[in-house]
Structure 1
């Protein structure tokens, strides 16, 4: 599956935790997705996958969720897009 990043952002909250998101489209999928990231120290990341705008096809959503779980390159590319927006 190929994906295209639409937008990304990341910032630190008042306690120094990292909060970010990346909106992306997957080739052939009806809906765009948004993955949000959270890390207390920027090392271990929690994430949540949602539809970016309107709901899509559940089977396609499950494919994307599985790709994020199983493919480190996918996850890293989406995380790095958000990290790249973090101001030093």
Structure 2
């Protein structure tokens, strides 16, 4: 799947946990997606995949969800985009 990163963000909360998101498009898909990330220490990540704006086709969403779950390289691409926005002071 060819991804286009639209926007990314990452910060630490008051307890030091990492909170971030990446908004991205997938070539040929109707809707953009948003994946949010959470990690207490920046090693093991929980995530949630949603539509970024308006809903798209369920079949396309399922394919993206499977990609995020199974393709470590593409998951890391999305996570790295968010991590690159972490302020250096954090």
Decide: shared fold, TM above 0.5. yes
Q: Which runs of 5+ in 1 are unaligned?
A: none
**Residue of structure 1 equivalent to 2:4:** 4
Structure 2 partner of 1:24: 24
How is 1:1-88 mapped onto 2 (pairs within 5 angstroms)? Answer: 1-88=1-88
Q: How many equivalent pairs are there?
A: 88
Q: TM-score, normalised by structure 1?
A: 0.99
In 2: Cα distance, 1:74 partner to 1:68 partner: 7
> 4+ residue stretches of structure 1 with deviation over 6 A?
none
SS at match of 2:30: coil
**TM-score with structure 2 length normalisation?**
0.97
CA RMSD of aligned residues (A): 0.3
* CA deviations over 1:5-58 (Å, ceiling 9, x no partner): 000000000000000000000000000000000000000000000000000000
List gaps (5 residues or longer) in structure 2. none
